[in-house]
């Protein structure tokens, strides 16, 4: 499922985005390969089952399939399935966009949406689609002449100038977007040339009874019966170039798109996943991994369990609340369940112990090597640094997940901005325009906000923070709780009744009377926690992060010296990657032992109209009863999903899954629970990616959506008898 994390230096968002390489055993198919380096892996890929030259997968001439894989929005992947801009991605990737288009009158989550012609396709404001035209290794131009142990402040200044100049130069020469990105923890750099299209329209979206069938219960699990797809179309101007939305725009004419193969697959067949995996941390040190296991994941799970319980209760009772919270809930629940499986896998596979064994091997090498004298005490420094900041890491998670998980307190940041704008030394017109822009932006938040629901979240989450944060609880919080007789209900009732952060109208009124903000109870809660965080936690974590950035860069450099760089695939960083493996069921000796494929007959058996996440559309049940499958029938049913042992991560949602000929056989949408540890540790025995069979996608489009006109513009591989 989704994972919208971005790699970066800040430890305040996701701890551990600074990655290190340990000497763990590597499998040929493990890891996500940079497409521009596939030539060096061609022999092993052909041996595994690839039946086309790697130049067809990627080239800078415009004829590679890299031009058929897109970054969908900010954190998913999509694939082009026609030469007229038709795009396929996951249902959950399109969910937030569709929420902005839906209403109680046009409930696309309950009923789905299917355009019957191009005139009916719906514009999606703010949605973008980006194509990667080429990638070039610019490591020497970025790092040339810079000593490994140069001070970070000096090093960063030099790098910033070089990167900016490189990006400007590539933009000038290519007339396209250019971004230089760090790989291998800042020891390698690539420039990525891309084009971003801004006119994207909704074409098809199955109802939740298909696209989210199984809901949280089945999320991150196998077997799966979820039709997790949606269809969009990319539009361009008269020159086929990116342009803002206009009725005059035409479907984007893309020369490269995927041929669809509806002949199926067998267990053991070659598969390849092409997409934009977000963040993996395969080589994180044992010390950082212990923080994930002992603090980060458990705290997030505990807090989100409480929040999700409240949201589910209120969403079930009121359809309008459901529509407001369904996308938000999906995002919060996605991480919540993934982290549970992640912890189970990391502990059950003794990954910390394996990391420590690998670190012992590294230390033995560092003690005798003369190329990297800085490596001898790296692990010691990293361990001391991590242990010293355990408490800071833990309380930061409690603030993020418990306090700021209460939407009203987070939204009070807007009151703080209004106050700061008012008292800033700015021209009056600038202040007026800034506040007006802020109020317009806030309208989007309130469109999907329910105060009664959030008040119940306050009552559920605030006790968790008060009980677990210890000395980091602001004095104001303790005094307020005491003032209301230690009753969280009474405290919440007062805050929600007396704040200007609870509605767009009240926020606007407060903007006209900024002097009242300092008396606002939600602002006081926000201000108190942010003051404590900024004074006691942020500086500590900033120092921790800065030191880890340096240590991890040097650690990675040492690993490159110890082993060939080509053997150490770079961790995912939201750039285009290729992973390959084979169709493979779970190990029969494992806890599940299921087949590698599921089908519609199985899904109908799970139908339960009393449980929203298992409530299948009546029309789909009737199609199954009548066996009305058309050309998509396989052994008397329709295949839905299959699993393979490709190495995937968040961001691979919506990725095309290809056979050995580079033909589309499905759309990646999840991983199995037993293998969600793969962001930290890949084990082919447990790690599986879950793919929606392209035949189920086409069956739903044609038979349930009655949008068979879309199939006329697709290209199909010859049918096998």
Domain-located, residue 159: no
Average pLDDT over residues 697-721: 96
Average pLDDT over residues 100-110: 91
Average pLDDT over residues 495-507: 96
Is 90 exceeded by the pLDDT of residue 59?
yes
pLDDT, position 552: 87
Q: How many CB atoms sit inside 10 A of residue 391's CB? A: 15
pLDDT, position 29: 66
Average pLDDT over residues 487-493: 98
Q: d(Cα 480, Cα 554) in Å, to the nearest integer?
A: 48
> DSSP letter string over 539-559?
HHHHHHHHHHHHHHHHHHHHH
Q: Residue 657's Cα: distance from chain center in Å?
A: 18
Which SS3 state, helix, strand or coil, does residue 177 take?
A: strand
Phi, psi of 706 (to 5 degrees): 55, 35
Give 294-307 pLDDT, tens digit per residue. 999 999 999 999 99
The tally of domains found in the chain comes to 1
Active site residues: 92, 228, 653
Highest mean pLDDT among 30-39, 151-160, 318-327, 458-467: 458-467
Domain-located, residue 331: yes
Give 307-363 pLDDT, tens digit per residue. 999 999 999 999 999 999 988 998 899 899 999 999 999 999 999 999 999 999 999
Is 60 exceeded by the pLDDT of residue 11?
no
Question: Which segment of 117-126, 393-402, 545-554 scores lowest on mean pLDDT?
Answer: 545-554
User: Per-residue confidence at 670, pLDDT binned at 50, 70, 90?
Assistant: very high
Which SS3 state, helix, strand or coil, does residue 395 take?
A: helix
Residue keyed to tokens 């061609």 = 42
Residue keyed to tokens 């513009």 = 713
Q: What CA–CA distances, in Å, run from 137 to 37, 45, 192, 599? A: 10, 22, 9, 44
Are residues 384 and 454 in contact, defined by beta-carbon separation less than 8 angstroms? no
Cα angle 534-536-539, degrees, rounded to a multiple of 5: 65
pLDDT, position 12: 32
Give 201-219 pLDDT, tens digit per residue. 999 999 999 999 999 889 9
Domain-located, residue 446: yes
Is 90 exceeded by the pLDDT of residue 282?
no
Domain-located, residue 380: yes
Would you give the end-to-end CA distance of the chain in angstroms? 35
pLDDT, position 216: 85
Domain-located, residue 708: no
Question: Which segment of 84-93, 201-210, 365-374 scores lowest on mean pLDDT?
Answer: 365-374
Domain-located, residue 266: no
Compute the Cα dihedral for 375, 376, 379, 385 and give only its sign. negative
Segment (H or E) for 306: helix 297-317
What's the pTM value of the predicted model, to 2 decimals?
Answer: 0.85
Q: What CA–CA distances, in Å, run from 313 to 174, 316, 319, 329, 457? A: 53, 5, 11, 12, 11
Average pLDDT, the chain: 92
Q: d(Cα 686, Cα 593) in Å, to the nearest integer?
A: 11
Which is nearest to 323 in space by CA: 505, 120, 653, 101?
101
Q: Structural domain of residue 428, as residue ranges?
A: 286-541
pLDDT, position 686: 87
Domain-located, residue 438: yes
pLDDT, position 720: 84
Which is nearest to 576 in space by CA: 129, 130, 279, 276?
276
Average pLDDT over residues 650-670: 97
Q: Which residues neighbour 119 within 8 Å (Cβ) at sequence distance 6 or greater?
A: none
Give 556-604 pLDDT, tens digit per residue. 888 888 876 556 789 999 999 999 999 999 864 555 456 899 999 999 9
pLDDT, position 258: 98
Give 17-38 pLDDT, tens digit per residue. 333 333 333 444 678 999 999 9
Domain-located, residue 519: yes
Q: How many CB atoms sit inside 10 A of residue 712's CB? A: 7
Half-sphere exposure of 653 (CA within 13 A, CB side): 27
Question: Which segment of 268-272, 551-555, 617-621 scores lowest on mean pLDDT?
Answer: 551-555
């Amino acid at each position: 499922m989704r994972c919208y994390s971005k790699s970066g230096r800040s430890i305040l968002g996701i701890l551990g985005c600074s990655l290190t390489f340990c000497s763990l055993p590597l499998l040929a198919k493990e890891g996500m390969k940079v497409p521009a380096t596939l030539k060096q892996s061609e022999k092993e890929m052909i041996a595994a089952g690839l039946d086309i030259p790697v130049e067809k997968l990627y080239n800078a001439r415009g004829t590679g399939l890299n031009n058929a894989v897109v970054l969908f929005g900010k954190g998913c992947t999509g694939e082009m399935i026609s030469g007229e801009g038709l795009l396929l991605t996951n249902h959950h990737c399109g969910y937030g966009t569709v929420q902005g288009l839906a209403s109680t009158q046009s409930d696309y989550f309950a009923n789905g949406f299917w355009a019957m012609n191009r005139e009916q396709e719906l514009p999606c404001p703010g949605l973008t689609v980006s194509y990667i035209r080429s990638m070039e290794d610019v490591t020497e131009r970025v790092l040339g002449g810079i000593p490994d142990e140069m001070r970070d402040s000096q090093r960063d200044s030099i790098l910033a100038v070089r990167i900016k100049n490189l990006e400007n130069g590539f933009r000038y020469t290519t007339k396209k977007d250019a971004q230089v990105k760090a790989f291998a923890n800042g020891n390698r750099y690539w420039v990525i040339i891309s084009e971003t299209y801004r006119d994207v329209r909704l074409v098809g979206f199955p109802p939740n009874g298909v696209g989210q069938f199984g809901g949280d219960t089945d999320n991150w699990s196998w077997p799966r019966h979820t039709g997790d797809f949606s269809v969009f179309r990319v539009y361009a101007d008269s020159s086929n170039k990116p342009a803002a939305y206009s009725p005059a725009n035409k479907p984007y004419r893309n020369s490269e798109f995927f041929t669809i193969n509806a002949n199926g697959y067998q267990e053991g067949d070659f598969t390849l996943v092409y997409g934009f995996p977000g963040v993996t941390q395969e080589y994180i040190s044992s010390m950082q991994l212990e923080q994930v296991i002992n603090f980060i994941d458990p705290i997030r799970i505990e807090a989100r369990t409480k929040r999700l319980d409240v949201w589910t209760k209120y969403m079930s009772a009121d359809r309008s609340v459901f529509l407001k919270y369904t996308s938000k809930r999906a995002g919060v629940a996605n991480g919540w369940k993934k982290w549970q499986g992640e912890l189970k896998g990391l502990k059950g596979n003794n990954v910390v112990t394996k990391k420590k064994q690998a670190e012992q091997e590294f230390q033995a090498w560092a003690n005798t090597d003369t190329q990297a004298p800085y490596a001898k005490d790296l692990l010691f420094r990293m361990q001391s640094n991590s242990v010293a900041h355990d408490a800071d890491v833990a309380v930061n998670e409690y603030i993020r997940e418990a306090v700021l998980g209460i939407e009203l307190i987070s939204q009070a940041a807007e009151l703080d901005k209004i106050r700061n704008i008012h008292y800033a030394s700015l021209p009056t017109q600038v202040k007026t325009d800034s506040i007006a822009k802020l109020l317009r932006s806030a309208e989007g938040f309130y469109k999907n906000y329910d105060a009664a629901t959030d008040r119940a979240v306050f009552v559920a989450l605030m006790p968790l923070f008060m009980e677990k944060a210890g000395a980091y609880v602001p004095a104001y919080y303790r005094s307020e709780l005491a003032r209301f007789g230690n009753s969280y209900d009474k405290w919440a009732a007062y805050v929600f009744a007396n704040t200007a952060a609870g509605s767009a109208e009240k926020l606007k009124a407060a903007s006209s009377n900024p002097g009242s903000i300092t008396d606002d109870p939600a602002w006081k809660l926000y201000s108190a926690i942010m003051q404590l965080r900024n004074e006691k936690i942020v500086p500590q974590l900033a120092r921790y992060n800065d030191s880890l950035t340096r240590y991890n860069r040097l650690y990675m450099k040492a690993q490159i010296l110890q082993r060939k760089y080509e053997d150490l695939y770079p961790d995912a960083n939201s750039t285009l990657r290729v992973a390959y493996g084979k169709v493979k069921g779970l190990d029969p000796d494992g806890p599940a032992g299921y087949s590698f494929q599921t089908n519609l007959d199985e899904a109908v058996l799970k139908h339960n109209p009393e449980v929203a996440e298992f409530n299948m559309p009546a029309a789909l049940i009737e199609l199954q009863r009548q066996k009305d499958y058309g050309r998509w029938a396989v052994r008397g049913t329709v295949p839905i999903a299959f699993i393979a042992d490709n190495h995937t991560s968040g961001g691979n949602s919506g990725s095309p899954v290809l056979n050995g000929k580079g033909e589309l056989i499905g759309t990646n949408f999840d991983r199995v629970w037993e293998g969600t540890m793969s962001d930290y540790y890949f084990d082919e025995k447990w790690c599986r990616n879950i793919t929606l069979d392209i035949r189920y996608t086409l069956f739903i489009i044609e038979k349930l959506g009655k949008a068979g006109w879309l199939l006329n513009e697709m290209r199909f591989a010859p049918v096998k008898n």
